[in-house]
Amino acid sequence: MNQNIKSKNIVSNYDYIISIFSNDWRGNFPELSNFFYKKFQISSTTDTDIIDSYKFDWSNLPGNASILVRPNNIKECSIILKTCYKCNIPVTVSAGRTNLTGSATPKEGLILSTVLLRSPSIKLDINNQHVLSPVGIPLEKLRNEVLDLSNNTLFYPVNPTSRYDALVGGTLSCNASGFIPGNKGATRYWVKEIEFLLPNGNYILIQRGQYFSSNFKFIIKDEWKNIHLPIPNYKRPDIKNASGPYSSESKNIDLIDLIIGSEGIFGLIVSCKLGLLKRPKEYLNLFLRLESENEALDLYTYLYNYFDKDMSKVFALEYFGHNCQNYMNHKDFLFNSDNQVGLYIKIPIYNQSIENKSIEWFEILKNFNNKIKSEEIVVLNDKKIWNYFLKQDIQFLIMHL
């Protein structure tokens, strides 16, 4: 287990020029912008009209910044970070800006937008079931590319609702989660490797299993000194998706786990290698009518134990509280009484037929305290029923009302 991390200066040939500039810099941001653009051709601006559109994210918190840079590659990122580090300029990393916490909202200083970070290009390793990805592309683009490149045999299972706007790097930094229950539904589980730049611009390649904390800290070495990075030791809440630095009360933690979900506070992720899953042949989609919220919770516990704590055996488990009936035009189709609640379950099918899978699941559900009768299980697989479930089939709606 290695607690000592060696970081590398990948722009050492520019050390002198960066030092000269930083020593002379007196807070003039147009000068900084010129420095980035003229010396390194880095896309950089202090134009407030352009910066204004990057000052906010989906949190709608107020923001402020003096300069915006949009680097193209890892070296440009390193130059920017190194210069800001030496000039003492706060840096805010910005991606798709869909976070809801304000973590991509700058308070002051420089915005480093990752929207142009599109290298390395996407590369699929079909045998090892992983994909190399740049951070500056929308997550859904990566997901579609994986399907194309693997001929629909593999897929990246993390599917947050924001996946069309959120960028790959943003989803790593927020540990974004999708529909799959349990830790396999969140990003952290799938990250095998990242290329990472520290706030001082130094580079680290981090592979899962390579670096582990010891005595609640990592030690990062650069050319001159050892940086002691303490890690939090509070108990992690037992929930699927939590942003903020990863922590453990007692165990040594993997450096990758610390960085995923840390919302950019430790540095910049510049590329990643993500694990993939075999794509199911099809899905069984069920909607269950249940008598109460407590019954839904009991059913969850039953399934959790049934699957030996691995809830990723289902690809979605969505709860419908009874209040949601107030917002449905087709509630009579899904519910038999105002007090009922519902559970949508998406079940992957790999080798079995849909009939066999249905029988298996009817059996599983029947054994849940003998509570669920078959008439309370709606199979949504028929295309018309599915569209109606999503309320897309007006004709069907008219016929059944």
Ligand X SMILES: Cc1cc2nc3c(=O)[nH]c(=O)nc-3n(C[C@H](O)[C@H](O)[C@H](O)COP(=O)(O)OP(=O)(O)OC[C@H]3O[C@@H](n4cnc5c(N)ncnc54)[C@H](O)[C@@H]3O)c2cc1C
Summarize as ranges the residues that interact with ligand X (CB under 6 A): 57-58, 92-100, 103-104, 114, 135, 160-162, 166-167, 169-171, 173-174, 176-177, 241, 263-264, 268-269
Closest separation in Å from C-beta 136 to ligand X: 8
Judged by beta carbon, residue 45 or residue 114, the one nearer ligand X is 114
Rounded CA separation 340/130 (Å): 42
Judged by beta carbon, residue 171 or residue 325, the one nearer ligand X is 171
Closest separation in Å from C-beta 178 to ligand X: 6
Judged by beta carbon, residue 138 or residue 342, the one nearer ligand X is 138
**3-state helix/strand/coil string of the chain:** CECEEECECCCHHHHHHHHHHHHHCCCCHHHHHHHHHHHHCCEEECCHHHHHCCCCCCCCCCCCCCEEEECCCHHHHHHHHHHHHHHCCCEEEECCCCCCCCCCCCCCCEEEECCCCCCCCCEEECCCCEEEEECCCEHHHHHHHHHHHCCCCEECCCCCCCCCCCEHHHHHHHCCECCCCCHHHEHHHHEEEEEEECCCCCEEEEECCCEECECCEEEEECCCCEEEEECCCCCCCCCCCCCCCCCCCCCCCEHHHHHCCCCCCCCEEEEEEEECEECCCEEEEEEEEECCHHHHHHHHHHHHHHCCCCHHHCCEEEEECHHHHHHCCCHHHHCCCCCCEEEEEEEEECCCCHHHHHHHHHHHHHCCCCCCCHHHEEECCCHHHHHHHCCCCHHHHHHHC
Closest separation in Å from C-beta 352 to ligand X: 29
Judged by beta carbon, residue 42 or residue 372, the one nearer ligand X is 42
Judged by beta carbon, residue 34 or residue 161, the one nearer ligand X is 161
Residues 6+ apart with CB under 8 A from 289: 334, 335, 336, 340, 341, 342, 376, 377, 378
Closest separation in Å from C-beta 109 to ligand X: 13
Closest separation in Å from C-beta 110 to ligand X: 12
CA angle 278, 389, 276 (to 5 degrees): 15
Closest separation in Å from C-beta 202 to ligand X: 15
Judged by beta carbon, residue 171 or residue 285, the one nearer ligand X is 171
Closest separation in Å from C-beta 343 to ligand X: 18
Closest separation in Å from C-beta 80 to ligand X: 13
Judged by beta carbon, residue 66 or residue 358, the one nearer ligand X is 66
The residue number whose beta carbon is nearest to ligand X equals 170
Judged by beta carbon, residue 243 or residue 252, the one nearer ligand X is 243
Closest separation in Å from C-beta 394 to ligand X: 26
